[in-house]
Amino acid sequence: MSVINLLDNSKMESKLANGLKLLYIPKTTKISSGLGDRLPEAYKKFYKEWRHKVPEPVYFQPKSGKWTRDEKTNAVIPVQNIPIPLKYPKTMHFGIWGGEAVIQGFKQSGKYKSRVPHFWTPTLKKSVVYSEVLDKYMSTTVTERAIDLINKNYGLDHYLLKTAACDLRTTLSLKIKRQILMALRDKTLYPDDNIKQQTVYNKYKDYLKDYTHEEIEWYGLTFNEALLKLQEMDSFKEKKEPLKTKYRIELIEELKNSSQTPTEEKTSWLNKLNPFN
Amino acid sequence: MDGMLRNFSKLLSVRSPIQQFHRSLVILKRRHQVQLQKKNSKQKPILKGRHFIYDVVENPELKKKEKMEVILTQYVEGIGHEGEKVSVRPAYAYEHLILPKLAVYASPEMVESMKNDNTQKINKETPSSITALQTLNYLKKMVISVSMNKDNPWTIEPWHIRVSLRKMNVHVLNDDSIKLPDQPISGPDLTLEGKSFVVFITINKKEKVPVECNLHHWSTKFADRLPYTEFFRRDPVSILPEQTDLLMSIREKKNI
């Protein structure tokens, strides 16, 4: 009996698992519904890297390991690093912020004091960044952390190419990354100096392994830009002429043919009526 | 009603939360921990108001930044020679060395390539020391007041210049590095008062600088002393006619 019970149990479990699978409905996102669903996989990959991936912790120190002890009770509890929610203002897209953002929260000076709203915002400064691949100086708004990261990665190009889109976050840095990737892919860097071109290309060519040709084409575009690009591609691919032009041409030809052979039989409407004619 | 008004006026006086003079990147910590989530749960944790009360753990930007290593691509005054690996503050390195391409980052690949290059760049002209050019520019801007006796006879010798320089906190270690004009200047001669001549000073037996000296007569008796004048602002008048052009050229550079 016990064996049969066990078997039954396992069957039940598998059925349940199947049922749960059926129950699972993936969450609708911008790229899985509406027009966004039509975007190519190359863009969807980038979009996931940009918007869905969890960025590296900036404002808190994640605890390492699997288990810790509770501070008060000394009980063993699992480590769960729940990230601090960040706010991304529109103006950040005009600069390189290096993963920084705005934090909305409260300050509380004592247990029995009222909590006071507080925004922790990054300090911005105007500075210049230099890209070796593009051979360009760019005046931008940056944060101290961004400059720090550029220094630690030995240059803007290395920093942008190494870092995932979710950590760069701002459209400006993604646009520069896109330009760099395109220049490396098409080898349009340093068009006048062949030796320099080769040395710089060799320096950064390893980063190209992570992307295909099409992925670079779609990298760093905002959602709206991607849709526009898709629209443009569609129009280019199809180039459908309206049917009326086709019919018009047909009609004109028909008329011409008919004018060449004007042999219309003179028939009265009575003839039509006669079924034996 | 009064109470309402009072409270309302309090609300008006509360500072807007956005106008804060606060710096940026801070390490925060939740005062109240979020309750434990289910294992492998795909749902977002529920955050209540209390979970948004943060305490500042650390403020890394207020700390002093650690120095950064860069490799110089050319001689930089006061920093180092070409191909030298120097450690400088990151803000200075980024703005003054890396952006103008005076230096490159000391990445492992760069260090190796620079090692190979160093063998080829031995016979290049370099200044005698890191600070030699800075010293040169400093001396160029100077107008030395050479105070000589009003009563006893003298002829200007290198040690006179050395002492005058010492009064201006420039210590010349060897008199051989001071070269006077060929024609001797002797006195006391009040026609030479407030006029200038040029001496050449050699730094590290390599760089030669013309330095303007202004002659002044000085007496031990208080009553005989000449009044103080701002000789360094006046247009220089040369004692030796062959040095007039040189003097004018030095002053022009100074004004720039």
C-alpha dist (Å) from residue B114 to A106, A195, B85: 52, 18, 10
The predicted pLDDT at position B17 comes to 44
Across A263-267, B51-55, B226-230, the highest mean pLDDT is recorded for: B51-55
Q: Round to whole Å and give the CA distance between A198 and B115.
A: 21
Whether B70 contacts B105, CB under 8 Å = yes
Question: CA-to-CA distance for A246 and A254, rounded, in angstroms?
Answer: 12
Measured between CB atoms, does B103 come within 8 Å of chain A? no
* B110–A contact, CB cutoff 8 A: yes
Q: Are A116 and A107 in contact (CB under 8 A)?
A: yes
Strand partners, B68: B88
How far, in Å, are A51, A83, A117, B105 from residue A143 at the CA level? Answer: 21, 21, 24, 20
Measured CA to CA, the distance from residue B254 to residue B140 in angstroms comes to 8
> Which residues, in sequence order, are bridge partners of residue B210?
B200
Closest CA to A174 of A47, A31, A38, A44: A47
Mutate to test the interface with A, among B35, B52, B116 (most CBs of A within 10 A): B52
Residue B248: pLDDT band with limits 50, 70, 90: confident
Distance (Å) from the alpha carbon of A4 to chain B's nearest alpha carbon: 31
Query: Which residues share a beta bridge with A239?
Result: none
- 3 state DSSP class of A22: helix
H/E segment holding residue A231: helix A223-238
Using the beta-carbon criterion (under 8 Å), do B27 and A104 form an inter-chain contact? no
Closest CA to B106 of B96, B120, B119, B93: B93
Record the pTM.
0.77
> Would you say A227 and A221 are in contact if contact means Cβ atoms under 8 Å apart?
no
- Decide if B188 contacts B217 (C-beta within 8 A): yes
Identify residue A27 by its one-letter amino acid code: K
Mean pLDDT of A101-121: 94
- Dihedral sign for Cα B223, B225, B226, B229, please: negative
The domains located in chain B, with CATH, are 27-62 (no CATH), 68-119 (3.40.5.10), 131-253 (3.10.430.100)
Q: Which residues, in sequence order, are CB contacts of A136 under 8 Å at separation 6+?
A: A130
Beta bridge partners of B145: B214
State the Cα–Cα distance between residues B117 and B113, nearest whole angstrom.
6
Strand A124-131 and strand A76-78: the pairing is unpaired
- Which chain B residues are Cβ-neighbours of A122 within 8 angstroms? 24-25
Q: What tens digit of pLDDT does each residue of B58-113 get?
A: 887 788 889 999 999 988 988 988 888 999 999 999 999 999 999 999 999 888 88
Q: How far is CA B29 from the centre of its chain?
A: 41
The arithmetic mean of pLDDT across residues A228-255, rounded, is 89
Chain B residues with beta carbon closer than 8 angstroms to that of A78: 36, 39
CB contact under 8 A, A61 and B27: yes
Chain A hits for B61, Cβ within 8 Å: 123, 144
- For residue range A133-189, what is the model confidence (pLDDT) as tens digits? 999 999 999 999 999 999 999 999 999 999 999 999 999 999 999 999 999 999 999
Q: How many helices (H) and strands (E) does chain A have?
A: 11, 7
Tell me the percentage of chain B whose pLDDT exceeds 90. Answer: 51
Cβ within 8 Å, pair B28-A120:
yes
Is residue A236 helix, strand or coil?
helix
Q: Which two tokens stand for residue A145?
A: 């952390």
